[in-house]
Amino acid sequence: MAFFANPTLIVGAGPVAAALTRRLGAEGRAYRRLDPGGLTRRLVERAETLILADPDDPAEALAEVFDLSAARPARQPALRLVLAHGGTWPADLPQVPEVGRVRLEGFALEAQAARALLAAHPLHAGFDPRGDQAPHLLIAGTAPPALALLGQAIRLAHYGEARPVFTLAVEAPQDWQAQVRAAYPQAHQACTLNFVALATPDLGPAPPITGAWVCLDPQVGLDAAGHLAERVLAVQGVAPPVYLEVGDAIPAGDLEDWDGQTVPVSWRAAAAAALLATGGDHLAQVIHDHYRDTTEAQGRDPALEPAGQPWDRLDGSYRDASCQQAAHLWAKLAATDCRPIPLAEAPAFAFAPLEVERLAQVEHRRWAADRYLNGWTYAPTRDNALRHHPQLIPYADLSEAMKDLDRYVVRLVPTLLARSGLALVRGLILGLGPSPLNTGRAVRRLAEACLRRLAERFPDRGLVVATTLGDPFARLVAALALDHFDAALWLLCPEPLPDLLAAQPGATARRDLLGLVARAERRIALTGPEGLDAWLRTRAQVLLLPGAAQAPAAPARQVRLDPAGAGLSWGFDY
């Protein structure tokens, strides 16, 4: 590897340091990895960024860097020193020198990994927030980042009135329950927690599992993931996505070998990517900058307030609050069927008053969950030292002034996205039921014409194709929409995915199906054909019907595709 003048220095001999170097190497960025004790004064003087990768003794490692940086030339910017640590912020650390040679940042590995993983695989990937479904996450095992993953998921699991449910499957449920309660003593205020045995998890009367995370030793994780998937399928009849922690392994295999459910993830790789990302907290910084601008517009100097400091000098608790608000923004979009697109491609957008009120309630639940997880409790008078807050009450009991704060956060979403180069459009859900149509040239031509005309008729909407993918016609329409019309794909599951895969006539059909499953944004479990019909009636805004197929009573917008007869027949004012 060719090193540039000021490479990133990584100090560490463990798996975190290895994950960081793999990431830097894959991106072609300059770095130099050192074992503990390998730092020299010259290296520290010339470096721009130095990462202490989960050191055994953080205090000793920091003291060494502070000593070696004392002779750093004053003309150079302060050294960016990142302490990447496991667990909570280490205690009894030496004070950062006042001469300004070092700018210390903390990076909580497991917490940041959990945030990155749930950003890549959001909770709403496994259910429909607007379809009267509740998020129900199953977390199996206690290995990292299980505890951090639970905390972050509780913060994000607020989409509407449905109370989120978390089932924690472990070998010793009582011991894990004690650890979870010690870490998050107020978690029960924000969600329902069930602790069950890993070998035979009791799913009880809880709503269907919408996602599962397996946080076990990778040597046993794959078998456990398969066992859990079989258990959930047998008890609840659903096949949710299963995210399997694989450690440092690099998954191999072909698409046709995939079961359609198990998704390999690595928390250390996710943490490394988040740490090395440029502008990773961009949206959170936009939120904070907007707060500073608003404070200044009100005639106050933001620099005089702890929460109004510039981002690079902002206290970690205020940074985290902005990061959590930014992370939940995507849940708010999922709860309103809205999609972000490049700013230049969309007209102005504003939430309707009823949407604002509904999302304000969601925002209050999110805010309360974050406070509860940080140890706050209700009290009629606010006391920061005791973590008492008078607003930890139901949204309906808030004063109008307090409700307006939540409404303001909601109305701010389009502005925040605009300052990030994005705009919002409402989704246009195109529903497809089962179809006997083939995928010949005439059918393909009509399907393309239908999608094109919908895009022209609704230029301010983002196309969403919702289908079971169970037949060739559905897969054709989904592939065309994804490849040529920037659409999203929602997989409707009136039957378990393993049954759908088993019903495919051959390897080619199975591969095509799995390729589209991998591209689906949502996987929505439904209760058989009746559940599929009900969902299409209530959620689809346009139905694409084959030939003379019988249509549900709603929606009013229907398009019939008949290659042997009239071609495309539009059942609404086109």
pLDDT of residue 10: 96
C-alpha distance from residue 539 to each of 105, 126, 467, 519, 543 (Å): 46, 16, 12, 21, 10
* 556 has pLDDT over 90: no
Q: Which has the minimum average pLDDT: 167-176, 445-454, 545-554?
A: 545-554
DSSP 8-state class, residue 188: G
* 4 has pLDDT over 60: no
What CA–CA distance (Å, rounded) separates 413 from 403? 16
Q: Which has the minimum average pLDDT: 221-225, 539-543, 566-570?
A: 566-570
What CA–CA distance (Å, rounded) separates 520 from 543? 19
Q: What is the mean pLDDT of residues 433-441?
A: 90
pLDDT of residue 3: 35
Q: Where are the beta strands (DSSP E) in 279-421?
A: 338-342, 377-378, 388-389
* 2 has pLDDT over 60: no
235 C-beta neighbours (distance < 10 Å), count: 15
pLDDT of residue 280: 63
570 C-beta neighbours (distance < 10 Å), count: 15
Q: 8-100: what fold?
A: Rossmann fold (3.40.50)
C-alpha distance from residue 387 to each of 186, 317, 474, 521 (Å): 12, 13, 53, 38
pLDDT of residue 513: 96
pLDDT of residue 1: 32
User: Between 245 and 204, where is the model more confident?
Assistant: 245
pLDDT of residue 555: 65
pLDDT of residue 204: 82
Structure tokens at 245: 């922690």
pLDDT of residue 186: 94
User: Right CATH number for 425-570 from 3.40.50, 1.10.10, 1.10.3060, 3.90.1280?
Assistant: 3.40.50
The CATH number given to 278-420 is 1.10.490
354 C-beta neighbours (distance < 10 Å), count: 8
What is the phi/psi pair of residue 282, to 5°?
Answer: -60, -50
With bands split at pLDDT 50, 70 and 90, how would you rate the model's confidence at 565?
confident
* 452 has pLDDT over 70: yes
**Mean pLDDT for the chain overall:** 91
What CA–CA distance (Å, rounded) separates 252 from 375? 43
What CA–CA distance (Å, rounded) separates 186 from 375? 6
C-alpha distance from residue 244 to each of 240, 264, 515 (Å): 13, 5, 19
Structure tokens at 256: 């046709």
With bands split at pLDDT 50, 70 and 90, how would you rate the model's confidence at 290?
confident
C-alpha distance from residue 503 to each of 115, 469, 474, 499, 507 (Å): 37, 12, 15, 6, 11
Pairing state between β 211-214 and 136-140: parallel
Q: Please count the residues of the chain.
A: 574
pLDDT of residue 6: 66
CATH architecture label of 114-273: 3-Layer(aba) Sandwich (3.40)
With bands split at pLDDT 50, 70 and 90, how would you rate the model's confidence at 549?
low
Domain limits, the chain: 8-100, 114-273, 278-420, 425-570
Q: Are 136 and 164 in contact (CB under 8 A)?
A: yes
pLDDT of residue 305: 86
User: Between 278 and 71, where is the model more confident?
Assistant: 71
How would you label 480-519 residue by residue, b for 16+ Cβ within 10 Å and e otherwise? bbbeebebbbbbbbbbbbeebbeeeeeeeebebbbebbee
Question: What's the whole-model pTM score?
Answer: 0.93
With bands split at pLDDT 50, 70 and 90, how would you rate the model's confidence at 574?
low
* 5 has pLDDT over 80: no
- Same topology, domains 278-420 and 425-570? Answer is no
* 554 has pLDDT over 80: no
* 431 has pLDDT over 90: yes
* 393 has pLDDT over 90: yes
pLDDT of residue 430: 97
